[in-house]
Every structure is written in C-alpha cells, then in structure tokens.
Amino acid sequence: MKTSQVSFDVNLFNLQYHPEKVTPKDWTVNSEEQPRPFKTYRGLPSVRLDHRVPDALGPFVRSEPGLFERLSALLWHSYGLTTMNWLTKASKPEEADAKSLTFFRRNVASGGALYPAEIYLCLKGFQGLSAGVYHYDPKGHRLVLLREGDMTQYVQEALGIEFEEVGSSVYLLLTVRFCKNFFKYLNFSYRLHGLDTGVLAGQLLTLLKALGMQATVHYNFVDQALRHLLNIDSHEETVYAVISANAGQRLKSRENKKETADTLADRLPPVDTPVCEENRRGDYSMIVNLNNQAECETVESFKRYKDTQNLRSAIDGQATVRLTERKKPVDLLQASLDRISPGERFKLSELRFDTLSNILTHHGLDGIKNDVIVNRNVTETIHVFFYAHHVEGLAQGYYYVDRECSSVRLMKKGDLSPLFQQGLTRKNFNLHQVPLVIHLTSAFCEFVSSVGTRGYRILQMEAGMLTQQKQLFAAGFHLGAHPMLSYDAGFLERALGLDDLEQTILMQIALGEYKPLLRLANTLF
C-alpha cells in the first residue's frame, strides 16, 4: 500500500510504515529532559492499599479475599512497582554516560519502561473505601481521592450504557499522559500509547477474570465528559479505555439519548486536584490533533465494527500441524512476577512443541468483550503468525495460527532468520539465537478506514492485550518474550507474503530461553 492510497490521516500510516517520518532517525534522546516517572498529586487524601501482596493465585483465591484485598492485589500485580533495577556496567552500551542507570519494573511491559498509562478508579461499595474517584499511585501502592461520592452513574452515561443496579462496582479508567514517553520517542510515542495501554488492559482483564470479577472493555465514551470527571487536560492526558468490573448486567444502551460532553459535565462541578507539575513539555500537536480526530463528542457518534476478515481461502491449502490439546495450568500471579523481556540475553535452545501449543492456545481473556468489535471477543481481530526457527517437530518456516482448527499452517518454508535479522531497524537483538518470533497482525488499513482515527488506537490496544498474553504465558513456562517495534514492516510483509493478505504487522515478539540478566534487582515486596 502506498501513502497516496490511504484514506485516513497519513500520520497513522507513517507510524506503522515510515516511523522516521514522524520521529527523525537521527534524533538523540536527552535524558535530562526525562520528566518524573510518576504523576503525583499534592495535598489530597489517600487510602493505603493492602501491602501484603500474594505471590500465587491458588492460595490467594482459596483464602476468599474481600473486594478490597482483591483490588489491592489486582492493582499491584498490574501496575505496582515490583523491582528496583541497576544496570551493571557490562550491560550498558559503551556510549552510555558513567552514571549508573536505575529504573523500576512493573509486572507489565512498556516501551522503554516508561509506563505512559495512568489508572483511575470510579467505584462504590468497597469496604474500606468511600465511593468516589481515585488515582492509583504505584509509588505508595495507594489510592488518592480526587472526588468523593458515587459517580458510577455518570460514568455509565458517558459510556452510553445502563447497567443494572448492584451493590459494588468499579470502573477502571486508563489514560495516557503524553509527557512520560514523549521526551524519548517524540511523535512515535502515539503508537506506544495504544500498545502500552493495551498491555496494561490485558493484564487487568486477565487478573479480574482470575479473581472472579466480570469485566468488559469500553473504547466508546464521551471523551470530554470523562476528562472532566478526572480533571485532566486534553493537551496533556486523555482517556483511552474504560474497564467495567462487577458492574452487573448490561440493561440497555443509551445511544438514543442525546448526551453530549456539555450536558454531562454540567451535572458535575469542577474539582481542584493539584499535581506536581512538569516544567518540561514537548510539542504534542500531532498527538493532540490525532486525539481530537478520534474524539467522540456525543453518545450518538459511537462507532461499531463487524469483523468479516477471513484468511481461510489463503490458508486452507497450506500444510497443517495440529496443536497439542492438553493445557498445563499456569499460576497467573507467579507468571506475572516471572514475566520478562530478556533483550540480548536470549539463548538458542529447542522449544518443545507442547510448550508452543500451550503458549499459543492459552488465553486468559476468553469470553471478554469490547464494545466496538461486535462479533468477536477481545484480541480476536488480531491474527498470529510466527517464525519457527528451532521448534521440536516443526520444519523451519513461517506459520499461521489457525485458531478455529487449533492448528498451525505452514505459509513459507525455510531458514528465515537472516531475513528476520535483516528486517530489524535496530540491531540490538540476535534473532538467530531465538527459537520463535511471533507476529501480531491485522487488516490495519481496512480497520482504520472503517472505524476512523479512533480505530487506530483501538487496534493498537487489542494488539497490546495479545502481547501481554504471549508474555504472561511464556513466563508460565519459564521463557522470556520480548516485544519490539524495531522492524521494517513493509519489508517483512512483502518478504513473508503478508501484503497479499492485506495484513499489517502490529507487533513482533521474540520468545525463548534466556541467560541471567546483567542487572542488579531489588524486589519491592
């Protein structure tokens, strides 16, 4: 596909195919420009969450924890600070300055470990917490109270949905704060915003389900109404997704109601929520402009999408290998703690076919829906392809995962690791050393043309969720999985025949065993 054929904002196309057009290739990062890694409120009341963090799901669930304990575990295992890391000298690039590099890790991956997403909660009926709107502060594993009172009805109206009345419910509002990764990635951070938020949403949804709480993802909402609720400014931060949990049965849609941002916001007085401000701001004009294009000003403007993508005619003739049926149980909390992106520390060893089958078929998000893609569960609009470099019983080659038939289809045979290595735009990985490289793909141009600019970030979030699933279940089998965007999408799609299938690679993930990491890590629990 050429830029001239694109029917949507060309920046969205460039973010996928020509990142150098949105962020210059010779751009050097000035780490002095790095803003504070946390959003910190000043002088607001807060509630300490439970600091006794469970490290295994089974015993925790059997102890029949209350909602407060479950919420504490959910937030810590999704976005809490898990380790403080020091990069040792040997692991630092030569040109790096002499100062040692320290950073916090969390249980989810994030581009450059910069975690641009923030979590807010609007809840009622949780013992130990008054009804209200809170911000999750990972630094202190606590909730900061922004507004007091039951505002769940207001959120429902902004989502255009009416739920049945239940005693306790929580809405997790996931926002993106631009300054957190803009200093490093400039406009390319727009692609990371969707992916990173999706990774976080995937972790929250997986754990909500494991903790016995019903959840749905909402991509449609009256944006300004939710920003008003959280008191955030669209020039700095905006809402990407809302997860409703324990909200009860969905009664009806309110889309015939002519709710607008103004009519909603008029019902809620402004609130003062002082934040430790950042002195350094970037030129977020491209990001703000794309978000403005994506904005829903009324409930009536919500879009839906019916996924009619079908790769069957292309794959049906291809050689098939059935995946192993048996699923080994994975403790999701233990796997969350073990999850890692090993970088240059991969080592080549044969991947067992049974393990491959488990990683490809395990799905912690089964049955969870979003409100835009009407005929699929979350992530099902994303296709999975992989290059088997060293997998027990599989010929080397590029495969498609045929979910419906629980099998894999050989699309291109041969040793493709030189091609994958050539396809890297930053050679900080040796893909000859990795037994498996996964591609998450979708009909990007078709989807964004149908759903519009909002569709771009929706697709990135869906790909982010699947990235999180692959990392989590790889960790469940003591393997590392490293997501990366440093690949030339056009080159790989042509070489692998994906362009004929109109598939765009949204994410590349290397997966395999790894050597101990060259860093000192201090656990924070």
Ligand X SMILES: Cc1cc2nc3c(=O)[nH]c(=O)nc-3n(C[C@H](O)[C@H](O)[C@H](O)COP(=O)(O)O)c2cc1C
Nearest distance, CB of residue 38 and ligand X, angstroms? 16
Name the residue with tokens 């992530």. Answer: 379
- Our CB check for ligand X shows the closer of 44 and 101 to be 101
| Contact yes or no for 74/68 (Cβ under 8 A) | no
Nearest distance, CB of residue 83 and ligand X, angstroms? 9
Name the residue with tokens 């060259």. Answer: 518
Query: Which DSSP string corresponds to 61-88?
Result: HHT---HHHHHHHHHHHHHS--EEEEE-
Site string for ligand X, 335-374 (x = CB under 6 A): -----xx-x-------------------------------
Three-state DSSP state, 110: coil
Q: Which helix (H) or strand (E) holds 520?
A: strand 519-523
Rounded Cα distance between 182 and 189, Å, is 6
- Our CB check for ligand X shows the closer of 245 and 340 to be 340
Give, as ranges, the residues between 482 and 501 that touch ligand X (CB under 6 A). 483-486
- Our CB check for ligand X shows the closer of 112 and 128 to be 112
| Contact yes or no for 223/490 (Cβ under 8 A) | no
Q: Which helix (H) or strand (E) holds 11?
A: helix 10-17
Site string for ligand X, 285-324 (x = CB under 6 A): ----------------------------------------
Three-state DSSP state, 104: strand
- Our CB check for ligand X shows the closer of 242 and 485 to be 485
Closest residue to ligand X, based on beta-carbon distance = 109
Kindly determine how many residues on this chain lie close enough to bind ligand X according to the rule CB under 6 A. Answer: 18
Q: Is 379 in the site for ligand X (CB under 6 A)?
A: no
Nearest distance, CB of residue 115 and ligand X, angstroms? 9
Nearest distance, CB of residue 474 and ligand X, angstroms? 11
- Our CB check for ligand X shows the closer of 133 and 485 to be 485
Name the residue with tokens 């790769």. Answer: 311
- Our CB check for ligand X shows the closer of 375 and 486 to be 486
Q: Which of 39, 70, 77, 105 binds ligand X (CB under 6 A)?
A: 105
Q: Is 199 in the site for ligand X (CB under 6 A)?
A: yes
Rounded Cα distance between 27 and 16, Å, is 18
Nearest distance, CB of residue 342 and ligand X, angstroms? 7
Phi, psi of 481 (to 5 degrees): -140, 120
Q: Is 201 in the site for ligand X (CB under 6 A)?
A: no
Rounded Cα distance between 173 and 159, Å, is 11
Sign of CA dihedral 88, 93, 95, 96: negative
Q: What Å distances lie between residue 201 and 71, 108, 158, 179, 370, CA to CA?
A: 15, 10, 19, 20, 11
Number of neighbouring beta carbons within 10 Å of residue 137: 21
**Structure token pair of residue 174:** 């996931």
Give, as ranges, the residues between 384 and 443 that touch ligand X (CB under 6 A). 428
Name the residue with tokens 């700095």. Answer: 236
Q: Is 87 in the site for ligand X (CB under 6 A)?
A: no
**Structure token pair of residue 350:** 């044969």
- Our CB check for ligand X shows the closer of 302 and 385 to be 385
Rounded Cα distance between 53 and 14, Å, is 42
Nearest distance, CB of residue 45 and ligand X, angstroms? 31
User: Per residue, what are the HEC states of 438-466?
Assistant: EEEEECHHHHHHHHCHHHHHHHHHHHHHH
Q: Is 382 in the site for ligand X (CB under 6 A)?
A: no
- Our CB check for ligand X shows the closer of 69 and 196 to be 196
Q: Which of 14, 110, 168, 504 binds ligand X (CB under 6 A)?
A: 110
- Our CB check for ligand X shows the closer of 27 and 45 to be 27
Q: Which of 74, 159, 179, 192 binds ligand X (CB under 6 A)?
A: 192
Q: Which of 109, 294, 443, 448 binds ligand X (CB under 6 A)?
A: 109
Three-state DSSP state, 162: strand
Residues 6+ apart with CB under 8 A from 300: 255, 258
Nearest distance, CB of residue 70 and ligand X, angstroms? 24
Query: Which window, 34-42, 104-112, 126-134, 276-284, contacts ligand X (CB under 6 A)?
Result: 104-112
Nearest distance, CB of residue 105 and ligand X, angstroms? 5
Query: Which window, 106-114, 353-361, 383-391, 431-439, contacts ligand X (CB under 6 A)?
Result: 106-114
Q: What Å distances lie between residue 285 and 118, 228, 349, 476, CA to CA?
A: 21, 21, 46, 41
Name the residue with tokens 């080549």. Answer: 348
Q: Which of 69, 118, 137, 196 binds ligand X (CB under 6 A)?
A: 196
Q: Is 466 in the site for ligand X (CB under 6 A)?
A: no
Q: Is 195 in the site for ligand X (CB under 6 A)?
A: yes
Nearest distance, CB of residue 232 and ligand X, angstroms? 22
User: In angstroms, how far is the first alpha carbon of the chain from the final one?
Assistant: 49
- Our CB check for ligand X shows the closer of 21 and 254 to be 21
Binding site for ligand X (CB under 6 A): 105, 109-113, 192, 195-196, 199, 340-341, 343, 428, 483-486
